[in-house]
Amino acid sequence: MSILSVNAGSSSLKFALYPIEGAGIGEAEVTGNIEGLEPSGQPRISFCATGQNKASAPVVVKPEQDVFDTALDTLKGLLATRFTHLKVQAIAHRVVHGGSYFSSSVRVTSEVLTQLASLNALAPLHQPHNLAGIEAFAESFPDVAQIACFDTAFHRTLSPLETTFAIDRQLTEQGVRRYGFHGLSYQYVTQVLQRESPRSAGRTVMAHLGNGASVCATTQHQSRATTMGFSALDGLMMGTRSGALDPGVLLYLMEQGWGHDQIQKLLYKQSGLLGVSGESADMRTLRASSAAGSAAARFATDLFAHRVVREVGALSACIGGLDVLAFTGGIGEHDAVLRQQVCDALAYMGVHMDASRNTQATGDSVVAVHADNSEIEVWVVPTDEGRVAAQDALAFL
């Protein structure tokens, strides 16, 4: 018997099958990723089953079809043809927004789906895909429990000083507040650090840098501050999202005649690395392009690093300093240049990277990359949101 986890991010659909072993879950028997689902991306599926070679192939999207729907169909097709021997007992779905409704995982019913759908507008790149995934799998596996596991849940320990926006309190009472995201990833990285680094119980800052990107500060392994807010737009610059932006810019655009849809598209799909470089949302493409001489690609990656430095400083201030810094997410795990840039800029705080340890960290395993004389520990932790979701789902069985 196994648990399937489904993680629809803004640029990818990740999945894994974990065997149930007694009261826990074992090593994943199948892991896979359909990536390149972001605007301008090139969809591609790769997956690997225990004892087999990794398989990879392009995913063809018909002009009239939505890229995420195609990814879901591809995943369902794969499960129905290749892994029928693995009996699925529960499906754990990453759902980015639990709003004020849920501060822990929940078994999905039609009432829960209605509540979650009311949050679609707060996370348009994620929530509709997350819910489409639940509906698709509920149809294919009608007798299997569907469990929603929330990005927002890890941040339930944020204090009102962190969650409250300085606006009319009536809006705050309506739920217009900071929720925070990437919680399954932060939960996983926290578990790893708890095991690997005794100092991580102190002042820890984790940077989840993927197509979506955020920073989270913890003490005693609990979330104390984070950069994403009411929606997954706030904070860092991302693949195609702006991150924090002076709200005056939005007023200006509205005065210029921009409508809601145009502004939404700008902020979610045409900004970030893609908007600033004018080339790509993918850090790998931008690294290659800047090596080939593109000043625009170089500037976009420099700006990305600068924004990380800015937020790590701000969040460290919120928890009274820094003991442990951790990088995760597609960029955080794989891009040694970005990590070096960020750590060089944080040298004033006592962060010192070991350049060779850093370049050897390629996202395959948990590695400490700080120099022996560094006051602050620096870790690279490959995240596993699917495992946290599957662990949660097990509790419902």
Q: Where are the alpha helices (DSSP H) in the chain?
A: 67-82, 110-117, 127-140, 160-163, 169-173, 183-196, 247-255, 260-269, 272-277, 283-291, 295-318, 329-334, 336-345, 355-360, 385-394
Task: Report whether 212 belongs to an annotated binding site.
Answer: yes
Q: Kindly state the tokens that stand for 260.
A: 């809601």
CB of 8 to ligand ADP, least distance (A): 8
Tell me if 299 sits within 8 A of 277, measured CB to CB.
yes
Task: Report whether 330 belongs to an annotated binding site.
Answer: yes
In terms of CB distance, is 238 or 376 closer to ligand UVW? 238
- Tell me how far the alpha carbon of residue 91 is from its chain's centroid: 19
Footprint on residues 166-225 left by Mg ion (CB under 5 A): 210
CB of 185 to ligand ADP, least distance (A): 8
Active-site residue, from 66, 151, 335, 392:
151
CB of 211 to ligand UVW, least distance (A): 5
Taking CB under 6 A as the rule, does residue 181 contact ligand UVW?
A: yes
Task: Report whether 208 belongs to an annotated binding site.
Answer: yes
Strand order in the sheet with 367-368: 222-226, 213-219, 204-209, 324-328, 377-380, 367-368
Report the C-alpha gap between 95 and 71 in whole angstroms.
17
CB of 25 to ligand UVW, least distance (A): 21
Three-class DSSP category at 263: helix
Task: Report whether 385 belongs to an annotated binding site.
Answer: yes
Report the C-alpha gap between 162 and 213 in whole angstroms.
18
- For ligand UVW, the binding residue among 2, 3, 5, 10 (CB under 6 A) is 10
Q: Kindly state the tokens that stand for 193.
A: 């650090």
- For ligand UVW, the binding residue among 43, 45, 59, 151 (CB under 6 A) is 151
Taking CB under 6 A as the rule, does residue 379 contact ligand UVW?
A: no
In terms of CB distance, is 86 or 92 closer to ligand ADP? 92
Tell me if 322 sits within 8 A of 205, measured CB to CB.
yes
For residue 182, the partner it binds in Mg ion, ligand ADP, ligand UVW, none, with Cβ less than 5 to 8 A by kind, is ligand UVW
Pick the stretch among 68-76, 169-177, 210-218, 277-285 that binds ligand UVW (CB under 6 A): 210-218
Pairing relationship of beta strands 2-8 and 88-95 according to DSSP bridges: parallel
Q: Which residues are catalytic?
A: 151
User: What residues make contact with Mg ion under the rule CB under 5 A?
Assistant: 9, 210
Going by the annotation, the residues of the binding site for Mg(2+) are 7, 385
Going by the annotation, the residues of the binding site for substrate are 94
